[in-house]
């Protein structure tokens, strides 16, 4: 049998960020994408540990003598993940083919570059926008160097993250608030009470981005999703109490929390030059007196 050490696994750096996340660290972001399609909730999905290992095992079984694997119900060969390693039972000839496949995968991953992505959510009116944008035309707007600072542009949120080329990463920042979204009745023969159902709500910014460097190394295609939430007011929804039934205790919930908030969501794919800040999305921010618009500015650089 062939033992493949975990340190030789070609995607180890790609899964490092995801596998170190704990579920409670991102629970507050779950509400941002409820009701959307499954492929829209990447910011709140936590991959299970080893999910890339399963993908690697499937690739080995598919590419190397597919009829010989017991997983396909056809042969005695097998591959199993064990304590961060792969244990493979195969013929000597197929062992050599597996080693060649892994070598090609490592070579491909070694060629991937490390990039840094900086995101800024900025507030600008039309006058400030005209001062910071370099040139005219349709598409992503390139910003002149130091233009935002000279124009006095406010930056309420900013983020910076380093990752591999073609790696999907995400981050979020802001304040978390606990709200009551429902009640669960607890009843007996002669009395009742209620148990509150609470939820963590996130106020702030969340970002998901996948940078893909062009073959010439002069530009990058970014697939980006941005979500910004801002609280407006907190109200109450009264609960109707049943009649003719005695309440047990004095802490029976009388109302639910009613949230009033702004949410700004954008998702796009754009090709932008390296080392230059570019506006990739923008939207109005409620009914602001200053008529400012919230813009998402991205800048991507290759890490040395």
Token reading at 193: 């009470």
226 and 153, same domain (yes or no): yes
Question: Does residue 202 have a pLDDT over 70?
Answer: yes
Query: For residues 282 and 142, what is the distance between their CA atoms, to the nearest angstrom?
Result: 14
Pair (38, 103) in one structural domain: yes
pLDDT in tens, 66-89: 888 887 666 788 888 877 678 888
Question: What one-character-per-residue DSSP string does 70-120 give?
Answer: GGGTS-SBEEEEETTEEEEE--HHHHHHHHHHHHHHHHHHHTPPEEEEEEE
Q: Are residues 137 and 149 in the same domain?
A: yes
Tallying the residues shown for the chain, one arrives at 304
Of 71-75, 191-195, 257-261, the poorest mean pLDDT is in 71-75
Take residue 234 and report the two structure tokens written for it.
């907190």
Is 190 in the same domain as 126? yes
State the residue range of the domain holding 209: 114-302
Residues 291 and 128 sit within 8 Å (Cβ to Cβ): no
Using an 8 Å Cβ cutoff, are 112 and 164 in contact? yes
Helix, strand, coil percentages (3-state) for the chain, rounded to 5, are 25, 45, 30
For residue 274, pLDDT over 50 is answered with yes
pLDDT digits (tens, 9 = 90+) for 96-151: 898 888 888 777 766 678 889 999 888 888 888 888 776 665 455 777 667 777 77
Q: In terms of domains, do 37 and 57 share one?
A: yes
Q: Are residues 251 and 269 in the same domain?
A: yes
The reply to whether 158 and 102 lie within a common domain is no
∠ CA 245-249-252, rounded to 5°: 75
Going by C-beta distance under 8 Å and a sequence separation of 6 or more, which residues neighbour residue 143?
Answer: 132, 133, 134, 276, 277, 278, 279, 297
Model confidence at 19, in pLDDT bands (50, 70, 90)? very low
- Asked whether residue 208 carries a pLDDT value surpassing 90, the answer given is yes
Distance CA 252, CA 194 (A): 6
Can you say whether the dihedral through the CA atoms of 45, 51, 52, 55 is positive or negative? negative
Which residue has better confidence, 39 or 192? 192
Contact criterion met (CB below 8 Å) for 4 and 102: yes
Sequence-distant (≥ 6) Cβ neighbours of residue 113 within 8 angstroms: 164, 165, 213, 302, 303
Q: Are residues 142 and 106 in the same domain?
A: no
On whether both 124 and 189 belong to a single domain, the answer is: yes
Mean pLDDT of the residues in the chain:
72
Over residues 197-219, the mean pLDDT reads 86
Residues whose CB is less than 8 angstroms from the CB of residue 20 and which lie 6 or more positions away in sequence, other chains included: none
Three-class DSSP category at 234: strand
Average pLDDT over residues 284-298: 79
For residue 224, what pLDDT band results from cuts at 50, 70 and 90? very high
Q: Are residues 99 and 43 located together in one domain of the fold?
A: yes
**pLDDT band of 29, cuts 50, 70, 90:** very low
Based on the domain organization, do 247 and 180 belong to the same domain?
yes
Q: Assess whether 158 and 190 both reside in one domain.
A: yes
Domain boundary among 76, 110, 144: 110
At which of 90, 110, 130 does a domain end?
A: 110
Residue 152 pLDDT greater than 70, yes or no: yes
Report how many domains make up the chain: 2
Mean pLDDT of 11-20: 30
Please say which residue of 110, 136, 164 terminates a domain. 110
What are the beta bridge partners of residue 257?
236
What mean pLDDT is predicted for residues 30-59? 49
């Amino acid at each position: 049998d062939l033992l493949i050490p975990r340190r030789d696994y070609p995607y180890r750096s790609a899964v490092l960020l995801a596998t170190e996340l704990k579920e409670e660290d991102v629970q507050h972001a779950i509400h941002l994408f409820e009701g959307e399609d499954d492929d829209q909730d990447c910011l709140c999905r936590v991959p299970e540990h080893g999910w890339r290992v399963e993908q690697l095992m499937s690739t080995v079984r598919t590419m190397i003598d597919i009829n010989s694997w017991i997983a396909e119900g056809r042969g005695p060969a097998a591959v199993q993940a064990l304590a961060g390693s792969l244990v493979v039972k195969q013929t000597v000839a197929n062992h050599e083919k597996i080693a060649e496949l892994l070598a090609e995968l490592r070579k491909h991953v070694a060629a991937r570059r490390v990039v840094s992505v900086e995101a800024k959510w900025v507030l600008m009116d039309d006058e400030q926008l005209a001062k910071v944008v370099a040139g005219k035309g349709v598409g992503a707007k390139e910003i002149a160097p130091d233009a935002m600072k000279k124009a006095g542009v406010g930056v309420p949120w900013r983020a910076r993250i380093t990752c591999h080329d073609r790696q999907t990463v995400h981050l979020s920042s802001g304040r978390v608030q606990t709200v009551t979204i429902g009640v669960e009745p607890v009843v007996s023969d002669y009395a009742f009470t209620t148990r509150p159902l609470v939820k963590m709500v996130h106020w702030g910014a969340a970002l998901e981005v996948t940078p893909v460097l062009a073959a010439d190394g002069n530009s990058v295609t970014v697939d980006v999703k941005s979500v910004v939430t801002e609280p407006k007011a907190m109200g109450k929804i009264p609960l109707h109490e049943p009649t003719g039934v005695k309440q047990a205790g004095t802490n029976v919930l009388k109302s639910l929390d009613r949230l009033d908030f702004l949410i700004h969501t954008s998702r796009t794919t754009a090709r932008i030059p390296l080392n230059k800040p570019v506006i990739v999305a923008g939207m109005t921010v409620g009914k602001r007196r200053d008529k400012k618009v919230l813009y998402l500015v991205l800048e991507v650089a290759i890490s040395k």
